[in-house]
Structure formats: structure tokens, C-alpha cells
């Protein structure tokens, strides 16, 4: 062996190992309880925009719905992670090529890509979360699941404004995009409404619904950034924090744990269920019921009743809502609890117009 072969071998080995980039994982073959005909051949696929499926929040919620469907109908399910935006389109194409019967694209970011794919594969069923086309029925093979999270966030903002000890509450997002901004809009508007009702001056740091500017960490994965961002927010006075940033919010939990004070408003899936060890830090969760949405879509598609078009989850149809207070139930005054509960019918009936409280 010549001298030159040494480094060549080392480099070749490195390149070989590095070649294993993004990949897909599947889990199938669960015991079906009520297998109907072709259910065991039905494949539902979840396509992500990042690499963390178990984020205790956004990505995990849809996956929970698919897992429930797997349990109940005996279908097969699969997910695909992405390492960078350049993976998005190839992953969508691959999901179609692998024979997925239903493809869930989990993010606003997939809007244009799914539209393009849906046009070229008219017989493939797609579902996209957080994005709607106008008009919604221009792509009959795409079901668009969007959620009016500002309605539930309004309740959470009102609650936080009633619970703060410093007179300041805070919020930040992962990336600035409409579904993230919507949470923050509702949160600030709810706090403003509290100020109006009670004559207080609670401030929300990190978002201004009028100018649509505020605090963002830059992505949905950098938890260390979430932690330092939360520390800064708390140092500037906010004691209740709403992170709208997927797993970055776990950095907020870590910061609140270290500070030994304050509370977190979690998003998407009830924090006390996805992250029970940290339940005492979650004042409540602004729930976006993506799991039932995913389950329902699978069920309909499986039975041949796939419906394209738009579904909007609201307080009225139970698509959004706030979670129980769990560990905080005894700390939230009864009067505040009933005020927050009373907001729901008022929002549904239109008595309170949330966008008016910008």
C-alpha cells in the first residue's frame, strides 16, 4: 500500500459516512382492531420541515393523530424529516413515489410546493396544515387544515394578564409566518381586553399586532436560543411567557425552571400530556387540535370520502381551545377562571371581536 492510499481511504470513509443525510422512518404492522378491507395497505405519510418529530408540540400533534389511526384502523404510517429547505420538494416527491395514499405536509412553508405537486399528481391525496389557497377548492385533492388559534390565544392572553405579578408578559416566535403571528396577535389582544375590563396596564413584550413586528429566534429547533431569549425577556420584566416556536419553547421551560419563578403558556398540544415532567411550569396550553384533524382526514380518506377544500378549526367547532390548568388550578383565582371561561361563548357569538383589541 502506497503512502497516498492512507489519506484517500480515510477521506473516502468520511464521505461515505457523511452521505447518510435525511432519511425516513416508518412504523407499521400494528395490531389492527378493526381492519377494513384494504386498511393494511393504506399508507399515511407525514412530511416535516425540520428534523424533530417529537417536539412535544407541532410536529408531534399530527403524528399522534396518525398513530391513533394506525391503532384503530391498522393502517401503515410513516414520517420524513428534513435537514434543510432543499429537502422539502424531494421529500414530497418521494412520498408520492413511495405510494403514500395520503400525504400530510406539516407547515405553512409547504404551501406552494404542495400546490405544484397536487397539480401534477391529481390522483394523489394531500393534506396541508396551516395553509389555505384562495379559493380553497382550486385543488380538489388538497385538504387544507387551518386553525383560528387567535381565538384561544385571546383567552390565554386574558388569563396571563390576570396572573402576572410584574405587570408584564412576554411572547416570541420561531419564524415570522402567518400561523405563528396569529397566536401572538390573539395573545396581545386578550391582554389588551383584560386591561380594558380591569383598567390595568399590563404590557406584552415581544409582539405588536399593529405593526406586526416583534421577537423571533430564527427557527423552530435551536432550544439554547430559546433559553437565552426567555432569560432576556424575564430580565426585562415578563413573568409569563408564550413561546410559539415548536421545540424551541423547551428552552423557555428550561429558563423558567432555572429562574424558579414565572410560567409558560404552551402551544399546540397540552404540555402536561406531552411533557408531564414539566407540568408545573405550564399555566395552560393554547391547543390546536391537529391530532383529531389528522385522524379525521385519514378516516375519511380510508373510507373513500376524501374531501378537498378548507377546514378551519375554531373555538366553536372545538378545533382550538385552551387546556385545563392542571397544577395551576388552585393558583388561578376562581373569578379569573370564570371570566376566561366566559370569553369563549362571547367570542363564538361575536360579542367580542378579537381583532378590535389590537
Q: Contact positions toward another protein, by CB under 8 A?
A: 3, 6-7, 10-11, 14-15, 17-23, 25, 50-54, 81, 83-84, 166, 170, 172-173, 176, 203, 205-208, 211, 213-216, 218-219, 221-224, 226-229, 231-237, 239, 247, 250-251, 253-254, 258-259
Residue with cell 415581544: 206
Nearer to another protein, 224 or 342 (CB): 224
Looking at beta carbons only, is 21 or 350 nearer to another protein?
Answer: 21
Distance of closest approach, residue 222 Cβ to another protein, in angstroms: 6
Alpha helix stretches (DSSP H) within 164-222: 178-198
In the complex, the smallest distance separating the C-beta of residue 106 from another protein, rounded to whole angstroms, is: 15
| Direct distance between the N- and C-terminal alpha carbons of the chain, in angstroms, rounded to an integer | 74
Peptide bond into 106 cis (omega under 30): no
**What is the chain's alpha carbon radius of gyration, rounded to the nearest angstrom?**
22
Nearer to another protein, 176 or 316 (CB): 176
Per-residue cell: 350: 361575536
Is 48 or 315 the residue whose CB approaches another protein more closely?
Answer: 48
Is beta strand 76-80 parallel, antiparallel or unpaired with respect to 43-47? Answer: parallel
**Least distance to another protein from the beta carbon of 13, Å?**
9
Beta strands 76-80 and 24-27, pairing class: antiparallel
Tell the smallest beta-carbon distance from residue 217 to another protein (Å): 8
Q: Please, which residue, 250 or 286, has the CB nearer to another protein?
A: 250
**What number of other Cβ atoms are within 10 A of residue 215's Cβ?**
17
Q: How far is the CB of 247 from another protein (least distance, A)?
A: 7
In angstroms, what is the minimal distance from the CB of 218 to another protein? 5
Contacts of 209 (CB under 8 A, 6+ apart): 184, 185, 188, 189, 358
Give the integer Cα–Cα distance in Å for 65 and 63.
5
Taking Cα atoms as reference points, which of 30, 32, 28, 22 lies closest to residue 53? Answer: 22
Helix (H) or strand (E) holding 66: helix 58-73
CB of 268 to another protein, least distance (A): 17
38 or 213: whose CB is closer to another protein? 213
Beta sheet of 76-80, edge-to-edge order: 24-27, 76-80, 43-47, 102-106, 125-129, 142-147, 309-313
Give the nearest distance from C-beta 203 to another protein in angstroms. Answer: 7
Q: Which is nearer to another protein, 255 or 302 (CB)?
A: 255
DSSP E strands: which ranges in the chain?
24-27, 43-47, 76-80, 102-106, 125-129, 142-147, 168-173, 203-205, 207-208, 213-214, 240-244, 263-268, 282-288, 309-313, 320-322
Phi, psi (degrees; rounded to nearest 5) at 324: -60, 160
Q: Please, which residue, 227 or 301, has the CB nearer to another protein?
A: 227
* Residue among 144 and 274 whose Cβ is closer to another protein: 274
CB of 8 to another protein, least distance (A): 9
Amino acid at each position: 500500500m502506497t503512502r497516498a492510499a492512507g489519506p484517500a481511504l480515510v477521506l473516502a470513509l468520511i464521505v461515505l459516512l457523511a452521505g447518510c443525510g435525511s432519511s425516513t422512518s416508518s412504523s407499521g404492522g400494528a395490531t389492527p382492531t378493526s381492519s377494513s378491507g384494504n386498511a393494511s395497505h393504506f399508507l399515511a405519510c407525514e412530511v416535516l420541515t425540520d428534523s424533530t418529530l417529537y417536539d412535544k408540540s407541532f410536529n408531534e400533534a399530527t403524528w399522534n393523530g396518525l398513530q391513533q389511526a394506525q391503532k384503530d384502523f391498522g393502517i401503515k404510517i410513516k414520517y420524513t424529516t428534513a435537514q434543510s429547505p432543499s429537502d422539502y420538494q424531494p421529500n414530497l416527491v418521494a412520498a408520492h413515489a413511495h405510494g403514500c395514499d395520503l400525504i400530510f405536509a406539516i407547515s405553512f412553508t409547504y404551501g406552494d410546493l404542495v400546490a405544484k405537486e397536487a397539480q401534477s399528481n391529481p390522483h394523489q391525496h394531500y393534506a396541508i396544515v396551516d395553509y389555505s389557497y384562495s379559493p380553497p377548492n382550486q385543488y380538489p385533492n388538497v385538504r387544507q387544515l387551518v386553525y383560528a388559534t387567535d381565538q384561544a390565544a385571546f383567552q390565554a392572553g386574558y388569563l396571563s394578564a390576570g396572573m402576572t405579578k410584574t405587570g408584564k408578559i412576554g411572547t416570541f416566535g420561531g419564524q415570522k409566518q402567518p400561523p405563528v403571528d396569529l397566536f401572538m396577535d390573539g395573545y396581545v389582544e386578550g391582554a389588551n381586553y383584560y386591561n380594558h375590563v380591569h383598567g390595568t396596564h399590563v404590557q406584552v413584550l415581544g409582539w405588536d399586532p399593529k405593526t406586526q413586528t416583534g421577537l423571533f429566534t430564527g427557527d423552530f429547533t435551536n432550544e439554547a436560543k430559546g433559553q437565552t431569549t426567555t432569560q432576556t425577556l424575564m430580565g426585562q420584566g415578563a413573568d409569563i411567557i408564550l413561546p410559539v416556536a415548536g421545540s424551541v419553547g423547551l428552552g423557555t421551560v428550561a429558563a423558567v425552571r432555572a429562574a424558579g419563578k414565572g410560567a409558560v403558556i404552551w402551544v399546540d398540544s397540552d404540555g402536561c400530556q406531552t411533557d408531564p415532567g414539566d407540568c408545573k411550569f405550564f399555566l395552560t396550553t393554547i391547543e390546536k387540535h391537529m391530532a383529531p384533524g389528522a385522524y379525521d382526514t385519514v378516516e375519511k380518506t380510508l373510507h373513500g370520502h376524501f374531501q378537498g377544500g378548507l377546514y378551519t378549526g375554531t373555538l366553536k367547532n372545538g378545533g382550538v381551545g385552551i387546556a385545563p390548568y392542571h397544577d395551576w388550578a388552585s393558583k388561578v383565582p376562581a373569578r379569573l377562571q370564570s371570566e376566561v371561561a366566559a370569553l369563549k361563548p362571547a367570542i363564538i357569538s361575536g360579542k367580542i371581536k378579537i381583532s378590535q383589541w389590537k
